[in-house]
Chain A
Amino acid sequence: MGAYEKVLKARNSNRPSGAFFVNRMITKFVEFHGDRRFSDDGAIVGGIGFLNDMPVTIIAMERGNDVNERIKRNFGCPSPEGYRKALRLMKQAEKFNRPVICIINSSGAYCGMGAEERGQGLAIAENLMEMMTLKTPIISVVTGEGGSGGALALSVADSIIMLENAVYSVISPEGCASILWKDSAKADEAAEALKLTANDLYNFDVADKVIEEENMSYDEICDNLKCEILAELSELKDMPIDELLEKRYQKYRNIGKL
């Protein structure tokens, strides 16, 4: 499968979004709303629940399955208040010593006037800084589209897992093609050049694990993902905090080392 085919597959509306993974993996889920500053962003669903018998905080980007849901979820494009809600829940997780799981599936942070007026750049920047030293394990999973800074704001983590047909890119192939070649129809060329597939990212040491998808239902994929998360957490939970944070810092320090 070509890179652009994967992009289209990652975006396909039949592909499950954040809420599916939350519902299938987590029991007794309690959703929490709002950033306590401005409003509640429907593009990000967050709360607590059990992963098997372990309480976790889970934060998921959700695109919505039908027209009404999509509008409510702003097509999965978070606003500053979404990132601030996520950070609030992460700080809460730190306080109560719960691991954090982030589910990433978004074409990117919302590019509207209100988002700029309320500090989209600052909201992302604060998450990057704070997640780097959050004193509890963080696992980020890219399940569909990992769109640029808007995805990065939930993926400063101890472990990044990608589904096989997920993509993660600094810019959309269409955006890249239209800037570089003034032709968004060259998106397939751009997708190849950007090297944005899960396997590419695994080779670049950005993704730590890739979950296979071939010949499997989304239920099976999600169950395998859950096993992987449990395995990662059993290791991370016993690590002394200083060691965990040093490892997290070095993970990003060493990506593409000069």
Chain B
Amino acid sequence: MIGNFFKSLYGEKENKVCKKCGRSYTYSELVKHSMICPNCGEYFRMTPRERLVMICDKFEEIDANLTSENILNFPNYDEKLKTATKTSNSKEAVVYGVAEIAGQKFVIFVMNSEFMMGSMGRVVGEKITRAFEMATEKKLPVVGFTTSGGARMQEGIYSLMQMAKVSGAVKRHSDAGLLYITVLTDPTTGGVTASFAMEGDIIIAEPNALIGFAGARVIEQTIGQKLPEGFQRAEFLQEHGFVDIIEKREKLKYTISNILKLHSC
């Protein structure tokens, strides 16, 4: 399974340009560097596919074919879903399944910022809920990679209710004495921050990732002033006591594997 993922990574992808220093790289060169700019160290945003290859030795996807429908008949949502499916080459904003690192089994979910900004509608909420319910049943830990602009407003109140639904499943998993590690990646905001992103037993963040509840523009409008440099970045959150570990991307697999091992006996 993971072998296919590897091959797909080296497929026909275009060159990528670093948004910080402007250098251009072939896709395979970037993959070799863990999607970090070899020149300036800037982190490229990663797709679930890339993340799974980087983190897991084995991975088997579940519910790969769940797709969203326009349940409220919201204007232009059908077109947006179609475009997102095409440009992100994926069916929804999260992928989940059973994975292994160094022989240790766990359930993993990875969000996708390329699919409608990683926003959470019914399908995203349902897949993450099922991930926790399955992990509870099979007594497995959960590792979740978050990236999201928040709730998907085209699904109205249904999208808001996903926060409660997922939180219920996280609570049951937690009450069963099972481990949940969250890895907050750039950007994690809104309803995802106000639910399962912050509900981990152990919260890891990637360096400089934007993490917050309210968007920077909304805060600036509310308080009538500019936000200071570094506000809502991973380092800011750690300083204020909300993040256990800020881990470099190259070391993430080792760190996750180590924490899983520490909880396995």
A interface vs B, CB < 8 Å?
Answer: 109-113, 115-122, 124-126, 128-130, 132-133, 148-149, 152-153, 155-156, 168-171, 176, 179-180, 189, 193-196, 200-201, 204, 206, 248-249, 252-253, 255-256, 258
Q: A124-B195, A149-B194, A253-B168 are in contact. Are A113 and B219 (CB under 8 A)?
A: yes
List residues of chain B with CB within 8 A of the CB of A126. 198-199
Quick check: A170 and B196 within 8 Å, CB to CB? no
Among listed B5-13, B17-25, B169-177, interface-contacting one: B169-177
Quick check: A113 and B227 within 8 Å, CB to CB? yes
**Which residue of the partner chain B has the closest CB to A151?**
B160
List residues of chain B with CB within 8 A of the CB of A189. 75
- Complex interface bits, B121-152 against A, C-beta within 8 A gives 1, otherwise 0: 01100100100000000000000000000010
Which residue of A117, A121, A180 contacts B197 across the interface (Cβ within 8 Å)?
A: A121
Quick check: A121 and B157 within 8 Å, CB to CB? no
List residues of chain B with CB within 8 A of the CB of A110. 222
Quick check: A249 and B168 within 8 Å, CB to CB? yes
Among listed B49-57, B66-74, B95-103, interface-contacting one: B66-74
Quick check: A125 and B167 within 8 Å, CB to CB? yes
Report whether over half of chain B's contact residues are helix, strand or loop; otherwise say mixed: helix
Which residue of B151, B165, B222 contacts A170 across the interface (Cβ within 8 Å)?
A: B151
Quick check: A128 and B163 within 8 Å, CB to CB? yes
Give CA–CA (A195, B154) in the complex, Å. Answer: 10
Give CA–CA (A113, B218) in the complex, Å. Answer: 11
- Complex interface bits, B197-237 against A, C-beta within 8 A gives 1, otherwise 0: 11100000000000011100011001100010001100000
Quick check: B227 and A128 within 8 Å, CB to CB? no
Give CA–CA (A155, B171) in the complex, Å. Answer: 16
Give CA–CA (A130, B71) in the complex, Å. Answer: 29
Give CA–CA (A201, B212) in the complex, Å. Answer: 28
Quick check: A133 and B156 within 8 Å, CB to CB? no
In the complex, B47 has a CB within 8 A of chain A: no
Within the complex, what minimum Cβ distance (angstroms) separates A112 from chain B? 6
Within the complex, what minimum Cβ distance (angstroms) separates B29 from chain A? 36
List 16 additional contacts besides A117-B240, A196-B156, A206-B161; criterion CB under 8 Å. Answer: A112-B223, A115-B213, A120-B213, A121-B198, A125-B195, A128-B164, A128-B195, A148-B151, A148-B160, A149-B163, A155-B164, A156-B167, A170-B153, A170-B191, A204-B157, A252-B165
Which residue of A111, A118, A121, A170 contacts B159 across the interface (Cβ within 8 Å)?
A: A170
In the complex, B158 has a CB within 8 A of chain A: yes
In the complex, B27 has a CB within 8 A of chain A: no
Which residue of B75, B158, B191, B242 contacts A149 across the interface (Cβ within 8 Å)?
A: B191
Q: A113-B223, A125-B167, A149-B213 are in contact. Are A171 and B194 (CB under 8 A)?
A: no
Quick check: B164 and A152 within 8 Å, CB to CB? yes
List residues of chain A with CB within 8 A of the CB of B195. 124-125, 128, 149
Q: Specify which of B123, B159, B168, B191 lies most central, judged by the most chain A CB atoms within 10 Å of its CB.
A: B168
A-B contact pairs, 19 of them (CB 8 A): A115-B214, A118-B240, A121-B198, A125-B167, A125-B195, A128-B194, A132-B168, A133-B171, A133-B175, A155-B164, A170-B153, A170-B160, A176-B153, A196-B157, A252-B164, A252-B165, A256-B71, A256-B158, A258-B122
